[in-house]
Amino acid sequence: MELVNGRYQIQGVDLLSVCKDHGTPLYVYDADKIGQQVERLRNAFEGVNLRIKYATKALTNINILKLMRKYGTEVDTVSIQEVKLALHCGFTPEEILYTPNCVSFDEIKMAVDLGVMINIDNIHILEQFGEFYGNSVPCCIRVNPHLTAGGNAKIQVGHIGSKFGISVFQMRHVRKVVENFGIDVVGLHMHSGSDFLQSEVFLMAAEVLFNEAQHFPDLKFLDMGSGFKVAYKEGDITTNIEEIGREMSKVFKKFCKEYGRDLELWFEPGKFLVSEAGYFCVSTNVVKHSPAAVFAGVDSGLNHLIRPMMYGSYHDIVNISNPSGTQRVYDVVGYICETDTFGQDRKLNEVRAGDVLVMKNAGAYGFSMTSNYNSRFRPAEVLIYKGQAHLIRRREVFEDLLATQVEVL
């Protein structure tokens, strides 16, 4: 998003006009930014067989999935519904990794029937998998490396108390299960969390995975997960993708030489690919003065963007209706019957009732975590693609709230 002649634009498309055409609240995505992030990640790795598995849960709109396929990524899914969405969008089963957590074995069987790669993070499930399939279906195993890393406790998933993955201390047991059932393990997976800054975290995790890989002679790939940090505000420290690519390529090639053959290196970026491409547009309902603060109350809330309330995440906020106005300090708050503060003590160009505010970095875990709390409608979504604004999800209406309910009284 850039300011051109006093108007904010994406690919030359006037953002205020998009909001006028489609209303607010509204999610807007920049397809060019997504493509740039894919290319940046791909170019960071040299001399390795890299496969990018977009973490579908970050943003599941089918047009975004089709865009990812157009840009040459594959997908990582965490539910059978995401698997089916990916297939619907043209991904082949071979391009889909299925990484569930605490699901029933029935869902695992459904995924196997669809032909996707199964990533197992539970010894009990691994035993069931062996009993049911033996060596007839290849699988991947998710290892918990016991590394505490990530920007927030809720996104640190590789520590010893995490529910994700099989403890690295249990891998001897895993190998016995694999041997007893003759399970065809073709990949090892690891994901320690999100918002990493240094390449050292990935290198430490890689060393754990390299050590375990030596016990599995038929591997085809190692999956390092993701967790790359993007900029949330100007001057923010971000993950140095080029450094990670350079260092990881070096150690991975060394490992492959020791292993005896070249393997594929997989990554599962979600936020890195779509976060900075997303903008959440809201309209100001009221400007309310209190002894402690001036509130800019908008036509949205935690039902549409829960990350600031759930994770304490920072989203830069811009008043696109008054880009040259005098700057004042506001608390930007929502209309939900809970405390739903999007940003506190924010210096914004003067906000007036009716002004459109835009929250940046809203592409990942924005719409995908929306709800109908307070019986509010979910917002619309627009994709800016090749210089044109395309509606890719209509706004909900009252009939949508009733669609799945069954009246018995």
What pLDDT is stored for residue 154 in this prediction?
A: 43
**Amino acid residing at 350:** E
Contact 74, 54 (CB under 8 A): yes
Domain boundaries, the chain: 2-29+275-402, 60-269
- pLDDT tens, per residue, the chain with 409 residues: 999 999 999 999 999 999 999 999 999 999 999 999 999 999 999 899 999 999 999 999 999 999 999 999 999 999 999 999 999 999 999 999 999 998 999 999 999 999 999 999 999 999 999 999 999 999 999 999 887 554 444 444 444 667 888 999 999 999 999 999 999 999 999 986 555 555 677 788 889 999 999 999 999 999 999 888 888 877 777 888 998 899 999 999 999 999 999 999 999 999 999 999 999 999 999 999 999 999 999 999 999 999 999 999 999 999 999 999 999 999 999 999 999 999 999 999 999 999 999 999 999 999 999 999 999 999 999 999 999 999 999 999 999 999 999 999 9
What pLDDT is stored for residue 134 in this prediction?
A: 95
For residue 15, what is the enclosing H or E element? helix 15-22
* CATH class given for the domain over 60-269: alpha beta
Half-sphere exposure of 392 (CA within 13 A, CB side): 23
Strand-pair category, 7-10 with 13-14:
antiparallel
Which residues lie across from 3 on neighbouring strands?
8
Known binding-site residue numbers for pyridoxal 5'-phosphate: 227, 365
What pLDDT is stored for residue 195 in this prediction?
A: 55
Nearest to 329 by CA among 291, 282, 296: 296
Phi, psi of 293 (to 5 degrees): -160, 165
Instruction: Please tell me the pTM assigned to this model.
Output: 0.93
What pLDDT is stored for residue 197 in this prediction?
A: 56
What pLDDT is stored for residue 266 in this prediction?
A: 96
Query: DSSP characters for 229-291?
Result: ---SSTT-----HHHHHHHHHHHHHHHHHHHTS--EEEE--SHHHHGGGEEEEEEEEEEEE-S
Q: Which of 89, 139, 281, 337 is catalytic?
A: 337
**Region 2-29+275-402: CATH code:** 2.40.37.10
What pLDDT is stored for residue 196 in this prediction?
A: 59
CA distance 241 to 247: 10
* SS3 call for 60: coil
Over the range 26-55, which residues count as b (16 or more CB within 10 Å of their CB) and which as e? bbbbbbebbbebbeebeebbeebebbbbbb
CA distance 312 to 72: 33
Assess whether 337 carries a catalytic annotation.
Answer: yes
What pLDDT is stored for residue 227 in this prediction?
A: 81
